Structure 1
Amino acid sequence: MIKPRQLHKGDTVGVIAPASPPDLNRLEKAISFLESLGVKVELGSHLSDTYGYLAGKDDDRLADLHYMFENPEIKAVISAGGGYGTSRIAGSINYRLIENNPKIFWGYSDLTFLHTAIRQKTGLITFHGPMLCSDVGKENFDSVSKQMFDQLFHPQELRYSEDISPLVTVSEGKAAGEIVGGNLSLLVNSLGTPYELDTNNRLLFIEDIGEEPYRIDSFLCQLQLAGKLEEAAGVIIGDFSDSEPVKRRESLPLEEVWNHYFASLEKPVVSGFKMGHCLPHFAIPLGAEAELCAYSQTLSIEPGVTGKEANDENPKN
């Protein structure tokens, strides 16, 4: 895996909207937060565009993404928000450009499709973390979530335990591997495409928002039938907010859904991680090596950035 170079004060970060239109009022507040970290901010040319439910036409959103990776002055690419639209541009991305210009790429939700595509096409570690309009620009953006940006400036091992939130062991065991995954519905959308998620000997992380238990059940069923659960070394169950049954009042509780798909896997599966559409939002480097222990209910993750230039640490043949 390729680790991007850490940020330094005075660096410039680029902000893009590769999915749906961002809330510009929240974005303004979020930019102030980024500047308080000591970095400069450059906005994508099409950041304020709208094209129905998309933040501009596909070619324009793609152009902003390419520009941020190509420009040597930009040291990190941060998403303003999610929504929908990243899968529409995945097939047109210049992955060689990204591989030759590795840098921090940060976001979540609909960005899951890009996380998977970029990692599997280039080997670049990317970051599943709070987005500017969805989280940072909110009044209740908390101190724990703010601290998660520190990992971009200082290579550091992350450790998650019950000191952060209550955790539940669904299946016992201990395993290590690269963390992959993200938004559950987007992971399912990748099946059958050139960007289909590879879970083999990896720790699968899942989260989602606004999906009822029967929908979550259907997503997991599809992953199971595709062999993705059996291939995984372990499963990290993140936050599933707004999952109360509405359309189907008669429902199984989520705990029963977890047990049905995970309890007999004979590998570590732990739920309750505050990772996803939630605050606090524990940010993680996708593609980094990690260890999940269901006995101690801990998750340890290696640093996602390096103090060296990425191309120096990961020379091409």
Structure 2
Amino acid sequence: MMIKPQSLKRGDTIGILAPASPPNQENLERSLEFLRELGLNVKFGQHVKNEYGYLAGTDEERLEDLHNMFLDKEVKGIICAGGGYGTARIAAEIDYDLIKNNPKILWGYSDITFLHMSIYQQTGLVTFHGPMLASDIGKEDAHALSKQYFQQLFEPKTITYTEEFSALQVLVEGEVEAILVGGNLSLITSSLGTPFEIDTKDKLLLIEDINEEPRAVDRMLNQLYMAGKLKEAAGFIIGDFNNCVPEREKSLTLEEVIEHYIQKAAKPAMKGFNIGHCSPNIGVPLGVNVKFSTSKKQVIFESGVDSV
């Protein structure tokens, strides 16, 4: 059952979490001006400034912040400060009934993909794959379009992605209407064999990644293919694969790798979307119905929020 979170309004309070690695504090502080421009108040998780090796606090601390933000009646939505690594470490300990009974906006990408997958599968809650505060919005060169698509949190509205955003390339022709799942390829692959293994059956699969050379992308797509996840999917949205270039002299190109597996899956697919580790990074809802057309080179995302 799909659950849409309630939309935001000016004066609402946003919770800021760091469920993975320590965010850049200077960028995080700079991003607050953007939230104020949206008319939002801010409440930080208690452990957002903690550091525990490559983690933003211990698993217990990051889990506590996540639970507290969903429990806090004052907090109307949650935006992640950054990604890195660590969300999968807390996935098995999350109280999903707590989230289901207190649904609200959750926004992030990259390592947050594991939360998108686990929360959707356990609760049906629509979440948002979009640019984060310290990682994106707080940078001095943050793109205006990355900021603009936070507006989808304030009123129910569809998002229509066409070549006005970026050049799109058809890999496999076709039209499909299906629920959108996915996110970062590395995190999707790491879900296999766990209680939160991604369900791609009859769903549109979004994939993106960063700093993975073609051989690594090949390994991950091959694993998904052998696990049946690519054949089961209804279609594919190929987002940005930032700096996924060979580190060795002899290599297949990223394009050759992606096209090999997408064509083996033989489901409608386009690539070139500014979704992922790129600028601009267009935020989109996950867990909603999407109309996908290669003939129109158009993707229409259903609204991810309900009106208050």
TM-score range, shorter chain: over 0.9
Q: What is residue 242 of structure 2 aligned with on the other side?
A: 241
Q: What is residue 265 of structure 2 aligned with on the other side?
A: 265
- CA contact under 8 A between 1:173 and 1:266: conserved in structure 2? no
Distance in 2, Cα, partners of 1:14 & 1:203: 29
Q: CA deviation at 1:212?
A: 0.5
- CA contact under 8 A between 1:113 and 1:186: conserved in structure 2? yes
1:87-125 per-residue CA deviation (whole Å, 9 max, x = no partner) reads 000000000000000000000000000000000000000
Distance in 2, Cα, partners of 1:264 & 1:85: 32
Distance in 1, Cα, partners of 2:24 & 2:264: 43
Name the % identity: 54
Q: CA deviation at 1:265?
A: 3.2
Distance in 1, Cα, partners of 2:249 & 2:155: 47
Distance in 2, Cα, partners of 1:219 & 1:33: 36
Distance in 2, Cα, partners of 1:27 & 1:213: 32
Distance in 1, Cα, partners of 2:278 & 2:113: 16
Distance in 1, Cα, partners of 2:143 & 2:259: 32
Q: What is residue 159 of structure 1 aligned with on the other side?
A: 160
The amino acid across from 1:277 in the alignment is: H
Distance in 2, Cα, partners of 1:153 & 1:42: 18
The secondary structure found in structure 2 opposite 1:257 is helix
- TM-score, structure 2 as length reference: 0.98
- When the two structures are aligned, how many residues end up with a matched partner? 307
The amino acid across from 1:22 in the alignment is: P
The secondary structure found in structure 1 opposite 2:265 is coil
1:221-260 per-residue CA deviation (whole Å, 9 max, x = no partner) reads 00000000000000000000011111x2211112211221
Distance in 2, Cα, partners of 1:8 & 1:32: 17
The secondary structure found in structure 1 opposite 2:208 is strand
- CA contact under 8 A between 1:19 and 1:55: conserved in structure 2? yes
1:17-70 per-residue CA deviation (whole Å, 9 max, x = no partner) reads 000001110000111111110010000100100000000000000000000000
Q: What is residue 313 of structure 1 aligned with on the other side?
A: none
Distance in 2, Cα, partners of 1:172 & 1:266: 9
The secondary structure found in structure 1 opposite 2:140 is coil
- CA contact under 8 A between 1:46 and 1:60: conserved in structure 2? yes
The amino acid across from 1:83 in the alignment is: G
Q: Does 1:42 pair with 2:33?
A: no
Distance in 2, Cα, partners of 1:215 & 1:265: 19
- CA contact under 8 A between 2:245 and 2:254: conserved in structure 1? no
The secondary structure found in structure 2 opposite 1:259 is helix
The amino acid across from 2:102 in the alignment is: N
Q: CA deviation at 1:142?
A: 1.1
User: What does 1:120-139 align with in structure 2 at a 5 Å threshold?
Assistant: 120-139=121-140
Q: What is residue 282 of structure 1 aligned with on the other side?
A: 282
User: What does 1:109-258 align with in structure 2 at a 5 Å threshold?
Assistant: 109-246=110-247, 248-258=248-258
- CA contact under 8 A between 1:170 and 1:258: conserved in structure 2? no
The secondary structure found in structure 2 opposite 1:150 is helix
Distance in 2, Cα, partners of 1:64 & 1:270: 37
The amino acid across from 1:290 in the alignment is: V
Distance in 1, Cα, partners of 2:91 & 2:249: 37
Q: What is residue 315 of structure 1 aligned with on the other side?
A: none
Q: Does 1:304 pair with 2:308?
A: no
Distance in 2, Cα, partners of 1:267 & 1:114: 26
Distance in 1, Cα, partners of 2:104 & 2:40: 15
Q: What is residue 312 of structure 1 aligned with on the other side?
A: none
Distance in 2, Cα, partners of 1:118 & 1:289: 17
The amino acid across from 1:101 in the alignment is: N
The amino acid across from 2:229 in the alignment is: K
Extract unaligned runs of 5+ from structure 2: none
- TM-score, structure 1 as length reference: 0.96
Q: What is residue 311 of structure 1 aligned with on the other side?
A: none
1:144-171 per-residue CA deviation (whole Å, 9 max, x = no partner) reads 1111100000111001111110110000
The secondary structure found in structure 1 opposite 2:187 is helix
Q: What is residue 314 of structure 1 aligned with on the other side?
A: none
Deviates more, 1:148-157 or 1:261-270: 261-270
- CA contact under 8 A between 1:220 and 1:261: conserved in structure 2? yes
